Amino acid sequence: MKRFKIKEIHSWLNQLPENKWRKIYKVDAKRVAYFVNHGSNATLPVTLSRKFGDTSFLRELQLAKNFVLHKIDEKRKLEGKSNNPITEDVEMHTISGNKRFMTKTALPILKKHGIKNVKVNDVAGDFLEIRFLVDINKLKVIDKELTRKNRTAYGGIVETFNKKLLKVIYEEIIKLDRRGILKEKLSQESRELRLFIDNDARLYKSRYIPILKNLSKFKKKGKYNSKLAIKAFMYLIDDGAKVYAKDYADGDASIFSKKDRLQLAKDYAEEFESQYNNQEFDFMK
């Protein structure tokens, strides 16, 4: 249990409206502190007790209770602030737009909002970028006002545009990475087996397409399980490894380790999800 210092309680007592014109002695703070730290049922030591007057210390007990309530309220307020932080940090932001619009409209609006120190840069000839220090709340107001003035001439907040652009680029990279173009996710053995399976017509018709159809049905029913999808593709990979071994390794399918096969199965499962989302086959629609 946290123990409160006499100094803190003494300071709180001095701030109470009822004590504005009243001197608070240290002994009063000591009594209140004792009840706060030891509970309302505690008996004051002899040094703090009274011989005359209010020997039951009702006032001190009430003050102790009020102090505890004050600390609880203070804690709640702090928690509320931490849960809902108000970010009003002044940072450098950039807006862009048509040169004429930015000079004739944007700059006067910035001046109206009290923003004087701005940096103006030419971008691609007919466009201007204006950089200035402002907090995020005021920036939103300015952005809204400029958009309302001319939606086509005003380019918006550059940081927001960059974030959207990065998101689009990231999504495109993910699409490209589906077969491991940008990142070598598969080992050399797995890639070799994958290449063999993809180019084998028998495996394609007898294993690959039936697995895709089956998984598509589960997707449509909402019962798709990625772990079971990996298991399904393992049948394709095991068959592919056997055929490969028969043709090129004297029937020894152990040239492809379990780790390589599992890695390849996961790759096929990831590819299927992308194929289904893009509806690359008619049975996926």
Task: Annotate 8-77 with DSSP letters as a single string.
Answer: HHHHHHHHSGGGTTSPPPHHHHHHHHHHHHH-TTPPPPGGG--SSS-TT-HHHHHHHHHHHHHHHHHHHH
Higher pLDDT, 227 or 20: 227
Average confidence (pLDDT) over 84-112: 77
Ranges of H-type helices in 84-128: 99-101, 107-112
DSSP state of 88: -
pLDDT at 238: 92
Average confidence score pLDDT of the chain: 80
Give the DSSP letter of residue 131: E
CA separation for the pair 196, 243 (Å, rounded): 9
| Contact call for residues 119 and 133 (beta carbons, < 8 A) | no
Q: What percent of the chain has pLDDT over 90?
A: 14
Residue type, 32: V
Average pLDDT over residues 122-148: 83
Taking the model in full, what pTM does it have? Answer: 0.38
- 63 token code pair: 């003050």
Residue 211: what pLDDT?
Answer: 94
d(CA 12, CA 72): 14
Exposure string of 185-218, with b = 16+ CB inside 10 Å and e = fewer, is ebeebbbbbbebbeebeebeeebbeebbeebbee
Distance separating alpha carbons of residues 166 and 158, to the nearest angstrom: 12
CA distance 194 to 231: 16
The rounded distance, in Å, linking the Cα atoms of 7 and 121 is: 57
If pLDDT is split at 50, 70 and 90, which confidence band does 181 have? very low
Q: Are 260 and 191 in contact, with CB atoms under 8 Å apart?
A: no
Q: What is the DSSP string of 139-200?
A: HHHHHHHHHHH-TTTEEEEHHHHHHHHHHHHHHHHHHHGGGTSSS--S-HHHHHHHHHHHT-
What's the pLDDT at 89? Answer: 53
pLDDT at residue 182, as a whole number: 39
pLDDT band per the 50, 70, 90 thresholds, residue 230: very high
pLDDT given at position 228? 92
Position 160 scores a pLDDT of 60
Return the pLDDT at 84: 46
pLDDT tier at 86 (50, 70, 90 boundaries)? Answer: very low
- Give the containing element (helix H, strand E) for 155: strand 154-157
Average pLDDT on 203-214 reads 91
Query: What's the number of CA atoms in the CB half-sphere (13 Å) around residue 158?
Result: 14
The winner for highest mean pLDDT among 10-19, 80-89, 174-183 is 10-19
Say whether pLDDT at 194 is over 90: no
Most confident segment among 88-102, 183-197, 260-274: 260-274
Higher pLDDT, 192 or 180: 192
- H or E segment at 193? helix 188-198
